[in-house]
Amino acid sequence: MEFTNLLITALRSLAKNKIRSILTSIGIVIGVSSVIVMIGIGKSAQIAVEERVGTYGKNAMEIASFHNLLTVADAVNISSKFPQVQYTSIIIAKSNVQVNYKDRSTISGMYGVENDYFKMKLWPLTSGRYFTDSEMSTHEKVVIIGSTIMRDLFIYEEPVGKILIINNVPFKVIGVLSELGESFGGKDFDNVVIIPYGAAQRKIIGNNNIDRIYVSVYSDKQMDEAVEQIKNYLYRVHAVPADSNEFRITTSKQKLEMAEYISKTLSMLLAGIASISLFVGGVGIMNIMLVSVSERTREIGIRMAIGAKRRDILSQFLIESVTLSGLGGIFGIILGLCVYYLITYIVDWPYIFSVTSILLSFLFACAVGIFFGYYPAKKAADLKPIEALRYE
């Protein structure tokens, strides 16, 4: 029999038992749609993670000391001595500060920084300005606030020019930062007040300690060399043994690689879990095809008696199985794309339309049909014509 005739015969056979065919293919529909959704979410999450890591700074590194050995001179020398360095900023951090405006208050994170901090993080303002050189050198009590602070404390007022109280110290608001959003752990990047690092040391912290130094280089190709040179410099200047691990340097490249590894691992895990439903759907197809062989034993005997060969019977039932799983795969792809779009719309993630994942899902669904349909098809093809005709 030609393939076209076999396909038509298969479709007619499936159409005779519409409800049973639909119920059987539901497992494949759910399995394929789950794979589409899981793969899509994994790719969207990876891009979202990369965007979040990007807020750490492009080609950036974070230098920290276990015993607070970093100094202002270190930041100045790193900026001037290493030609790979584009921006540097001292970081003074305090996780929980009381922020008040009139009768409203909130708890926020505070950072004391230099202007290069905003350049490294590519963090623009929605209103106001950055710090002036004069404000930095004289440790002026001025503050740039995140969008969460603006919403929580100022509501309908324009923040720029107003006086904000941070840990009982008045600061003048000079700028409002654009919104960055939240991390996957739920940390609000916009619940922050940022002041000159000198003002943070003298007015809020009460000492000259430096928590970290942020550094960015011109190109990611310069990152490894810059890290090694800066690390050697710090150990030499502070007379600390190199094997003491006193200075820790974390790069944006390392954070991105870690985030990508986690995202890919989760994507593979989720896709693997979703594939289990495809296996369940395949078992359902095998079960129905075995029932179909049993019901149509006399039909098989008649076909063989009038000249149908063993491969014709095998092909007929195999095509029925593949058609059932293939149609389930098509509807599963449509359902999966719709669900995936809905999820990305709700969580505000990028929607990634992948032709490769769609083709792979469909081919995998067909492969399930072949794998689980072969045994019933072989059982039908192995029937003896005389015994099949005598079957009641």
Closest CA to 88 of 190, 194, 226: 226
pLDDT 10s digits, 290-322: 777 666 666 666 766 666 677 777 777 777 778
pLDDT mean over 108-128: 91
User: Is residue 180 domain-shared with residue 313, that is, in the same domain?
Assistant: no
CA distance 169 to 14: 78
Query: Looking at per-residue confidence, does 222 or 378 come out higher?
Result: 222
Domain with 172 in it: 67-245
Write the pLDDT tens digit of every residue in 317-352: 777 778 888 888 888 889 989 998 898 888 777 888
The number of distinct structural domains making up the chain is 2
Tell me how far apart the alpha carbons of residues 293 and 392 are, in angstroms, rounded to a whole number.
13
The pLDDT of residue 42 is above 80: no
Does residue 218 share a domain with residue 120?
yes
Most confident of 13-17, 93-97, 111-115: 111-115
In the chain, pLDDT over 70 holds for what percent of residues?
A: 80
Lowest mean pLDDT among 135-139, 191-195, 232-236, 310-314: 310-314
Contact yes or no for 105/98 (Cβ under 8 A): yes
Quick check: is 251 in a domain? no
pLDDT > 90: what percent of the chain? 26
- Residue 346 sits in the same domain as residue 226: no
pLDDT category of residue 389 using cuts at 50, 70 and 90: low
- Look at residue 332 in the predicted model and tell me its pLDDT: 87
Question: SS3 letters for 233-279?
Answer: HHHHHCCCCHHHCCEEEEEHHHHHHHHHHHHHHHHHHHHHHHHHHHH
| Same structural domain, 153 and 215 | yes
**In terms of domains, do 97 and 194 share one?**
yes
CB count in 10 Å sphere of residue 84? 18
In a domain, residue 349? The reply is yes
Question: Do 124 and 215 belong together in one domain?
Answer: yes
Residues 236 and 278 in one domain: no
Domain's final residue, options 245, 264, 293? 245
Give the pLDDT score at 219: 83
- Answer whether residue 200 is part of any domain: yes
Please identify, among 245, 264, 284, the residue that sits at the C-terminal boundary of a domain: 245
CB contact burial 267-301 (16+ within 10 A = b; e otherwise)? beebbeebbebbeebbebbbebbbebbeebbeebb
* Domain membership flag for residue 263: no
Same domain as 143, residue 82: yes
Residues 18 and 124 in one domain: no
Residue 30 pLDDT > 70, yes or no?
yes
Q: Which residues contact 285 (CB under 8 A, 6 or more apart)?
A: 24, 25, 27, 28, 321, 324, 325, 368, 369, 372, 373
**Mean pLDDT score of the chain, rounded to an integer?**
81
Residue 354 reports pLDDT greater than 70: yes
256 in a structural domain: no
147 and 224 belong to one structural domain = yes
Residue with the larger pLDDT of the pair 255 and 248: 248
Give yes or no: residues 7 and 103 share one domain.
no
Highest-confidence segment of 128-132, 156-160, 226-230, 356-360 = 128-132
Whether residue 129 is predicted with pLDDT greater than 60 in this model: the reply is: yes
Is 268 within the bounds of a domain? no
In a domain, 27, yes or no: yes
Residue 62 included in any domain: no
Residues 43 and 72 in one domain: no
114: closest CA among 86, 89, 93, 143? Answer: 89
Q: How far is CA 199 from CA 24, 196, 209, in A?
A: 70, 5, 12
Mean pLDDT value of segment 85-113:
92
